[in-house]
Structure 1
Amino acid sequence: MTLQTATATISPNQALWEKGDFTRLAATMRDSGTNFIKKTGVRVGDKVLDLGCGDGTTALPSARIGAEVTGIDIARNLVAAGNQRAAAENLQNCRFHHGDACNLASVADDSFDWVISVFGAMFAPRPADVAKEMVRVAKPGGRIVMGNWIAGDPTLIAQILKISGAYSPPPPEGFISPVRWGVEADVIQRFGEAGVTADQISFERETFIFDLTGTAEDFVGIFRDYYGPTMNAYAAAAANGKDADLEAELVDLFNRQNTSKEAGRMVLPATFLRVTVQV
């Protein structure tokens, strides 16, 4: 299998995710990534595609089980970080590549037992194309498993995106909110257009845990300085003299949602929709 490692131009989506350093946020969610993979049933020798893989929060746990893992991400800095993490653990069965979830043209049909995307492909701008590509590259009898943030959910990430959106310019015409991937009817429609029937799709609500030693201000600082969507919100807020207001709203959110009883530790749950598609 040959994979493209570069594109001629940088799309807005690529620029967004290369702008910061998502590894700083991913470091707070490693245990949840491992638990997510344990529940899938990935086995030794399975061929796994991790789409929108970041630096390997779910790709590396799959490789540790003994699966043959290919990670694809739009952000070249995260691809490099993932390969470094895999090399550090001598996981020769895990390789990361640069690519676009909307167009996996260099990936052959029927290639993978598992197509997994946890908070990754949901941010690609053309969701119908993403669904079609995931179905195309999955083997007959394989599974697609997604973890998607939920529109309007009261827990951490949906609220961060909601607050950030209130300080950001209106999205461009034709923009489709990524949290629509957390709406069951939308998921059924998108996979339906890719030839999957509703009875092949199941849903569960589960929780990812973000765990950080530090204060709410410290954790907000990670989002402010390293997470692309929040970085853009801060830039827009600062242009209007409202960056302090944005900061105060986020700190308040983090303090209210912190479940830790330990001083100097933040443990914040975030509900997501697990989507499982039997191909």
Structure 2
Amino acid sequence: MVTDTSSLKPANPNKQLWEKGDFTRIASTMRESGEALVANLGIREGWEVLDLGCGDGTTAIPAARAGANVLGVDIASNLVKAGNERAKEAGLENCLFQEGDASGLVALGDQSFDLVVTVFGAMFAPRPFDVASEMARVTRKGGQIVMGNWIPGDPTLVAQILKISSAYTPPPPEGFVSPMLWGVEDHVIERFGKAGIPKENIAFSREKFVFRAPFSPSQFVEVFKNYYGPTMNAFESAEKNGKAGELQKELEDLFNSQNQSPSAEATEIPATYLLVKALV
């Protein structure tokens, strides 16, 4: 049975960021890797699955196709709408998307889910200790939390996009905790430890998510520039400082250097992330 969280009233300051642009344009290049990740989770018919920071359903939709009852929760109302439209088009009555905040899942009961999944989602929510606590709270005993988190300083695509973009934006406000710390094992262990999950119940591996697009890397830069909130903010700041051209060149050099497609008119770029599996 899918849970309705329509009464959630998120107070997440990231809401404006992720409603900016249209992340579905990025998500469309991530579908194959999302499906592959879900295929390895061993989802069983009738499982209750929560997908936090679900976007428009890159992992939620495959999980529902595998037979789970899936609730997708995201801070961005436009992505929730897009996810519900995708589920409807796919005929998946067992998949529901609702707006909500990973830092405070106030409408979700304790031990409601067999599996909590968050792939490049909850890592961006504020108050990471609250995020870990909430994920542990809503997961049933014997259930599992699976996180996919970008790794700080990693030389592959997304970590470098965020690193380059941050150099062109104003410094974050006092008290800001970098979302990239979810890609550091010691921080993950500390956060889940405070939530009651011991270190020995947490496993880590480094995996690849591949971005695939039927257009050139330079065109892919334009997609990030026009539709990905952090990159949009970076270009807005760079424009004010007369450095938009520099930012454009840095990103185009990055995308072109990491493209593994045999065709110059297509893009295939792998990005390394930290896969976290925590047994509750």
TM-score range, shorter chain: over 0.9
Q: Name the count of aligned residue pairs.
A: 278
CA apart distance, 1:5: 5.0
Task: List alignment gaps of at least 5 residues for structure 1.
Answer: none
Q: Which runs of 4+ in 1 moved over 6 A?
A: none
Which residue of structure 2 lines up, in the alignment, with residue 243 of structure 1? 244
Which residue of structure 2 lines up, in the alignment, with residue 16 of structure 1? 17
Matched residues in 1 for 2:11 and 2:130: separation? 19
1:3 aligns to 2:5 (yes or no): yes
Matched residues in 2 for 1:107 and 1:46: separation? 16
SS in 1 for 2:167: helix
Structure 1 residues 234-258: Cα deviation after superposition (integer angstroms, max 9, x where no partner): 1000010101110000000000000
Which residue of structure 1 lines up, in the alignment, with residue 76 of structure 2? 75
Which residue of structure 1 lines up, in the alignment, with residue 194 of structure 2? 193
Matched residues in 2 for 1:250 and 1:273: separation? 23
TM-score, normalised to structure 1's length?
0.98
Which residue of structure 1 lines up, in the alignment, with residue 118 of structure 2? 117
Aligned pairs for 1:143-158 (under 5 A) are 143-158=144-159
> Amino acid of the residue matched to residue 188 of structure 2?
V
Matched residues in 1 for 2:22 and 2:4: separation? 27
1:272 aligns to 2:261 (yes or no): no
Matched residues in 1 for 2:142 and 2:44: separation? 15
SS in 1 for 2:51: strand
TM-score, normalised to structure 2's length?
0.97
Which residue of structure 1 lines up, in the alignment, with residue 174 of structure 2? 173
Matched residues in 1 for 2:244 and 2:7: separation? 37
Matched residues in 2 for 1:185 and 1:4: separation? 35
CA apart distance, 1:10: 6.0
Contact 1:20 1:227 in 2 (8 A): yes
Q: Which stretch of structure 1 is more off in the superposition, 40-49 or 28-37?
A: 40-49
Matched residues in 1 for 2:195 and 2:205: separation? 21
Which residue of structure 2 lines up, in the alignment, with residue 211 of structure 1? 212
CA apart distance, 1:263: 2.9
Matched residues in 1 for 2:208 and 2:35: separation? 13
CA apart distance, 1:215: 1.4
SS in 2 for 1:263: coil
Matched residues in 2 for 1:35 and 1:112: separation? 21
Which residue of structure 2 lines up, in the alignment, with residue 229 of structure 1? 230
Matched residues in 2 for 1:278 and 1:12: separation? 30
CA apart distance, 1:262: 1.7
CA apart distance, 1:216: 1.8
Structure 1 residues 32-55: Cα deviation after superposition (integer angstroms, max 9, x where no partner): 000010111111111100000000
SS in 2 for 1:34: helix
SS in 2 for 1:190: helix
Which residue of structure 2 lines up, in the alignment, with residue 90 of structure 1? 91
Matched residues in 2 for 1:94 and 1:6: separation? 18
Matched residues in 1 for 2:28 and 2:278: separation? 28
Matched residues in 2 for 1:13 and 1:215: separation? 30
Q: Which stretch of structure 1 is more off in the superposition, 39-48 or 162-171?
A: 39-48
Matched residues in 1 for 2:83 and 2:218: separation? 28
Identity of aligned residues (%): 58
SS in 2 for 1:230: helix
1:61 aligns to 2:89 (yes or no): no
Contact 1:5 1:97 in 2 (8 A): no
CA apart distance, 1:199: 0.1
Structure 1 residues 16-38: Cα deviation after superposition (integer angstroms, max 9, x where no partner): 00011000000000000000101
> Amino acid of the residue matched to residue 121 of structure 1?
A
Matched residues in 1 for 2:229 and 2:165: separation? 11
Matched residues in 2 for 1:75 and 1:273: separation? 24
Structure 1 residues 220-274: Cα deviation after superposition (integer angstroms, max 9, x where no partner): 0111011011110010000101011100000000000001112301100000000
